[in-house]
Chains A and B, each alone.
Chain A
């Protein structure tokens, strides 16, 4: 079998390219069958390098299998299936095509055995995801430009780092390293940009909410998780990552609590979830690394449920602000139930997928005697409940009656949500399914009395806190979280903080930069445009003059 193996990622990319060429029922079949076929192919990949060839004297191994690769590839393929199902009624072949290419490249990165392959598919992912953002229409065009700029920057860093690494070691192999040379720092920086790490975290909540109701389902799953995968493979146990991760966790939580736009709230939640994984990678012990991988796996599932339910609400009502929504449980019961399952799962409620996976990272911190890290992670778990666990379903589906009476979305969107909500519960009840996929054997038992009680206490008390503070939260919420909020709520200091880091401020900053760039380009155009000094036809005399000048310059330079 291994002799004529089809690289799974390429299969999905090929399917993506086919999407615009077929229509109607055939497209639906393609959207559902291609990810399943890919999933099957993924499970045909044995351990070790399966496919390799020489390129410029370097060994390129586009497909190298092991448990970790298969774990990520599996969830990516499942996600592509879920996304395809959810977007069956999305009539935009460009977006679907780009999304499948994007997903296929993510799978290819997961199987990449060498740095060059990583880079190539990394760039295809950037292109695919940018197109997905663009397909959001309206504000998405500019957001997409900002998104593309950040990812081009990440790509440049990565390319420079990879060239340096290969130049220094002579090997293209993608293996665990420590950031101990400029080249490796560059690689790490390139990876971290995609993970949503500081100081550039804001690209994520800036761009994702502007994508379409279906586009964000894909976006939320692949970029950050691929970054987690490459960090897991490339930089396990790099201590810096603990702090980077913790920063991301709290950055995401704080801004999600203060956010009014439900899709942006979820985008912040994605950053904070990625933060948990990054700090797990930084801890670097076996259980922490296992935990990071398991967390990535389940977080794709429950984030998908949450993003899909937010997408359904957007699709049915056209609204996405907490203040404009509320009371939807009456007419969208199924969406409401799925959102609650996702919310319980992200808050790691017992019997959900979050519970069996998310405690492994804090356990890793405890085993390594990283007291402060453990406390912070536990506190963060409470914070997650606060924004994603309760705030999201509460303000959308309960709270006041907004007067909106939308129906549940079309069948395929419902089916996708139900499927992923089912995964949340199934993995929570049968954690062995997940543990069997992990790369090292797990001797972690989630359902101990102490753990369940601890988690329930944490959840119930923060739940209590939520409702005690509801009045305050509401008062902040009734004001749309745009700039005016800052002037009233938290005073000048926090406002300044927001202007630096909030995604709204980021957008303003990026637009200012954009205008500066335009001004710069106008200057460039004056010199380089068709009538500019560098582009127009010179008189023959001045050509000769410059030759003489250059000759003089060379003579002086040589004589000195």
Chain B
């Protein structure tokens, strides 16, 4: 009974949890509920992944209404993988959240914070799990509205502006998305993604369908912060509460990438996207622009959270590069980087959140000498930083390796140089932090700092350990990514 209804549980549990939290008075109780829900999620997701790996696609008719009329939850290797990723990040971050939220959010707002967080989780999981184009839009709005609120709860007053700007941008993105879906609906008469894919056959060259694709591409690109539509991201990540930044950086953009994969490969099909249309070329250029432009900006940042935010924009470039390479190896690289980058950025933002918890600042100058006061936290930060660079033995290397191999298969060996060259830029910005943290005399702000409480330290270390573990044992990550890539490229249409 439970096994058959896992798809529904994945979304309904956080929704119920959010409602419960909203009724509570005390932050601790709300945290408890959020913790229980978040920890349950990975088990649900793992159950789904196992079912998919064993038995193929799961189709779940929500409320008993059969697809294509009713809403279908449709789970294959790709979104089962994403579900696991999002829910694991959520589960790891919850123990960390307690102390961090106590420090950064006013007590009367804490239950709301957890309620909003659960809504956001619910929305993200919903986008991934559903097989219905309009349902995606609904969940996208749920998660987006929750995200705006999460960002606005940051202590810095600039958080309000950041949230406002993201609200405008996100709304435009969502509008574009819904316009695209509307156009597709007018052409095919269905909202079910799998059904839509079948009915698109033969009319894929019509103007309306191409316009729909353009609207979808731009709308989703906004959500995933693909250069040059990334401008909302740095401020949002910088001023949001630490826990929200870590969670969003690790999950939100990844879910948007998933949505892009879903439309490109499942609905429209690899053949149209890559042979008929210049999507690969456009994505190649934008990805490279992100990898270099954003990385260089990151080098000059004085606020570490902002530096990491720009680094995120650059890393998203690697993921979309995998889409642009568009052969099995390259796409595997993109998908595996999606997973790996979630781990890395989660770990980095959690470490820097712990720093904020202790010294109340994330300015680079205030971090001087912190390596002597918080050696474990900063050691974890450096390990995750090595992953961003792509040092062998870390997950970052695995991603870049597959991307490089994919580029070679495509005959683009110049791209391999660019891959390595852009990694060198990340050496500079990570190196800058290492130099300040370990080799400068201790700053006034860092004087009395000590290691954060274990509830914050252990989750961070867990993610860092994962970045090393999956750097050696790639059978789970790269193995599933490879199956996902194979499946996407085969095109079920």
Residues 189-245 (chain B) with a chain A CB within 8 angstroms: 207, 210-211, 213-215, 217-218, 221-222, 228-229, 231-232, 234-235
- With A55-B472, A57-B474: A528-B297 Cβ-Cβ less than 8 Å: yes
Per-residue CB contact flags for chain A residues 496-526 toward chain B (1 = under 8 Å, else 0) read 0000000000000000000000000000110
A193 to B161, CA, bound (A): 52
- With A57-B474, A528-B296, A543-B232: A551-B416 Cβ-Cβ less than 8 Å: no
Contact A156–B277 (Cβ < 8 Å):
no
Q: Which of A164, A537, A546 contacts B413 (CB 8 A)?
A: A164
Does A534 reach chain B (CB closer than 8 Å)? yes
Q: Which of A182, A525, A543, A554 contacts B300 (CB 8 A)?
A: A525
Contact A546–B229 (Cβ < 8 Å):
yes
Residues 116-152 (chain B) with a chain A CB within 8 angstroms: none
Contact A182–B413 (Cβ < 8 Å):
yes
Residue of B nearest to A160 (CB): B416
Residues of B within 8 A of A534 (CB): 293-294, 297
Does A406 reach chain B (CB closer than 8 Å)? no
Does B65 reach chain A (CB closer than 8 Å)? no
Does B409 reach chain A (CB closer than 8 Å)? yes
- With A55-B474, A543-B169, A547-B218: A538-B231 Cβ-Cβ less than 8 Å: yes
Residue of B nearest to A556 (CB): B214
Contact A540–B218 (Cβ < 8 Å):
no
Tell me the minimal C-beta distance from A98 to chain B in angstroms: 15
A470 to B222, CA, bound (A): 76
Does A56 reach chain B (CB closer than 8 Å)? yes
Residues of B within 8 A of A199 (CB): none
Contact B218–A550 (Cβ < 8 Å):
yes
Instruction: Please classify the interface of chain B as helix (H, G, I), strand (E, B), loop, or mixed, using the class held by over half of its residues.
Output: helix
Contact B169–A537 (Cβ < 8 Å):
no
Residues of A within 8 A of B234 (CB): 535, 537
Residues of A within 8 A of B293 (CB): 528, 534
Contact B404–A547 (Cβ < 8 Å):
no
Residues of A within 8 A of B472 (CB): 55
- With A534-B297, A535-B301: A557-B282 Cβ-Cβ less than 8 Å: yes
Tell me the minimal C-beta distance from B303 to chain A in angstroms: 9
Residues of A within 8 A of B172 (CB): 544, 547
Does B454 reach chain A (CB closer than 8 Å)? no
Tell me the minimal C-beta distance from A250 to chain B in angstroms: 32
Contact B214–A558 (Cβ < 8 Å):
yes
Tell me the minimal C-beta distance from A21 to chain B in angstroms: 14
A240 to B293, CA, bound (A): 40
A120 to B301, CA, bound (A): 30
Residues of B within 8 A of A559 (CB): 207, 210
Does A529 reach chain B (CB closer than 8 Å)? yes
A212 to B218, CA, bound (A): 58
Tell me the minimal C-beta distance from A536 to chain B in angstroms: 10
Residue of B nearest to A530 (CB): B300
A154 to B474, CA, bound (A): 28
Instruction: Please classify the interface of chain A as helix (H, G, I), strand (E, B), loop, or mixed, using the class held by over half of its residues.
Output: helix
Tell me the minimal C-beta distance from B365 to chain A in angstroms: 13
Residue of B nearest to A550 (CB): B218
Per-residue CB contact flags for chain B residues 294-333 toward chain A (1 = under 8 Å, else 0) read 1011011110000000100000000000000000010000
Residue of B nearest to A525 (CB): B300
Residues of B within 8 A of A56 (CB): 398, 401, 474, 478
Residues of B within 8 A of A298 (CB): none
A280 to B356, CA, bound (A): 60
A315 to B293, CA, bound (A): 48
A253 to B217, CA, bound (A): 63
Does B453 reach chain A (CB closer than 8 Å)? no
Residues of A within 8 A of B235 (CB): 537
Contact B214–A160 (Cβ < 8 Å):
no
- With A120-B392, A164-B408, A551-B218: A535-B297 Cβ-Cβ less than 8 Å: yes
Residues 135-159 (chain A) with a chain B CB within 8 angstroms: 152, 156, 159
Contact A547–B229 (Cβ < 8 Å):
yes
Does A163 reach chain B (CB closer than 8 Å)? yes
Q: Which of A183, A530, A547, A558 contacts B169 (CB 8 A)?
A: A547
Residues of B within 8 A of A167 (CB): 329, 405, 408-409
A267 to B228, CA, bound (A): 50
Q: A57-B474, A554-B218 are in contact. List 18 more A-B contacts (CB 8 A).
A: A55-B472, A55-B474, A156-B421, A160-B417, A163-B408, A164-B413, A182-B413, A183-B408, A525-B300, A528-B296, A532-B297, A543-B231, A544-B169, A550-B228, A554-B213, A558-B211, A558-B213, A558-B277
17 residue pairs from A and B, CB less than 8 Å apart: A55-B474, A56-B398, A56-B474, A159-B420, A163-B408, A167-B409, A525-B300, A528-B297, A529-B300, A534-B293, A543-B169, A547-B222, A551-B176, A554-B218, A555-B214, A558-B214, A560-B278
User: B residues touching A (Cβ–Cβ < 8 Å)?
Assistant: 161, 164-165, 168-169, 172-173, 176, 207, 210-211, 213-215, 217-218, 221-222, 228-229, 231-232, 234-235, 277-278, 282, 293-294, 296-297, 299-302, 310, 329, 392-393, 398, 401, 404-405, 408-409, 413, 416-417, 420-421, 424, 472, 474, 478
